[in-house]
Amino acid sequence: MAYNGRLDKEAPDSELARVRDKLLSINQKVRKFSQLYKKPSSRDEEEYTHEPKDDDEEVSLEVMHSKLRAINDYIKNRALGKSVKPPVFQKQEKRKEPEAPIERPEKKTSQIPRFTEREEVEELVDEPDPGAGKGVNVQPAEVTTVNLPDNVADSEKEVHYRSGVGLYLGTANIVASREVDGKRVFVRNERNAFLAVRGDKGTKELLEKLKIKYVALQDKLYVLGSMALSLADIFGRETQRSLDMGILNPSESESIPIVKLLVENILWPPRKKGEVCCFSIPSQPIDRSQDTVYHRGVFEGILRNMGFEPLIIEEGYAVILAEMESSDFTGIGVSCGAGMVSVSVAFNSVPVDSFSITRGGDWIDKSAASVLGVPTTRVTAIKEQGINIKEPRSREEEAIAIYYRNYIHHFLENMGEALGKKAGKANFDEPADIVFAGGSTMAEGFLEVVKEEIKTVNFRIPIGTLRRAEEPSTSVARGCLFNAINAEIQE
């Protein structure tokens, strides 16, 4: 609109009042129209209505005169080429009547929380801890997960929980879990990997600027967690692991101090002295000799130094506790990790048998990387970005899918043979349900390939339902938590 010098003259009050009423009428129509497309919030669970709220503010003619003068002055100055800021009008806050609290039905919960559905999953916060030791930049900020209604008084906001912590010590990931208010499960996940980088001042300043978790040991810097994998992929390097085949990696001299930092980083402080922390270990392999005594002793010492009372559980049995409550904890739990496949059998929550097979997700990555001529980290990154092993879309994904199928066939064949030899001990009179968990099960098409390959092997025992855990990556940690809570209750 072109500037007109007569715009600054005041219009008659009657005309101004008419304009005001017209604007209020248009405003109501706009609000009513927008209500027709507004989606109700499932979180608030309030009753949805299409009727507009009649809360339009009555504006006096004097106020409108004042606002029009300010607008007119702004238009004139802009037309004259002056640099001026547009007028800002402060809206008077209306007094709100207190809302009546929303009545919500009480949720029925059993004595032991159901872990078949993950209620809360949080990532570590990559913020340095101001109180951390020199050269260490790994401590996350604590994040609350307790959500309470706004109408609850502060004095009533008491957090109810049971003691106990679960800790999954995986070859590729470390996962911690604990119960918070309302029997919800709070889960933390961190990549169990590190990467050595230059220890000069410039590298350290860059890592701090980018808020990348690292630790300084002697004259070297080590990038920790997920960023180690990302940097290794970018620069065509291989990540370093503190664990190999489910136990401490003897080929890495820094394994113990680094995994100690990762565990201290991911766990919460004990809620009481001697709080139970149940951590997982792999079962004894059927295809190689493996000593877990040193591995167990190291982590028991780490947890005791933190103020916890350590408790050990095998990975497959943790899967049963997390996923088979509806079948009275009877069936076969399979943890498909990066280092190996751990299998456990239980009847009415009593563990009957367990073993492991030393071929896991790492074997898939290394084998595919070998035929593709690329670093293992490149294959890992492709796999974890999301692939369908039934429908590969590239040469790289096709190689991964081929080795994935071979990996599944291998552990099913060995499972069937091992379980068949001990069928009398396990007393498989009824078909056994099997639940699969772990990071290697997260590829799309995994369960379909399992159902196809199990028909090609002599499984030797009757099979019931085959299914994958709803939250495969946290299943073992939640089973560890289940066991820790039960141990606390029994004390």
CA 434 to chain centre: 24
Quote the pLDDT of residue 78: 66
Residue 215 CA to residue 255 CA, distance in Å, equals: 13
Residues facing residue 334 across a β-bridge:
343, 436
Between the CA of residue 465 and those of 162, 431, 432, what are the distances in Å? 33, 8, 7
pTM of this structure: 0.67
Quote the pLDDT of residue 301: 95
**CA-based nearest residue to 246, from 292, 179, 211:** 292
Quote the pLDDT of residue 91: 52
Domains present along the chain, CATH in parentheses? 5-38+50-79 (no CATH), 120-140+163-490 (3.30.420.40)
Quote the pLDDT of residue 399: 96
**CA-based nearest residue to 339, from 390, 299, 281:** 281
Residue 314 CA to residue 280 CA, distance in Å, equals: 5
Quote the pLDDT of residue 53: 43
Quote the pLDDT of residue 62: 63
Question: Are the beta carbons of 112 and 485 closer than 8 angstroms?
Answer: yes
* Residue with the two structure tokens 């078909």: 431
Quote the pLDDT of residue 483: 95
**Low-confidence residues of the chain: pLDDT under 70:** 1-20, 22-23, 26-65, 72, 74, 76, 78-85, 88-160, 182-183, 422-428
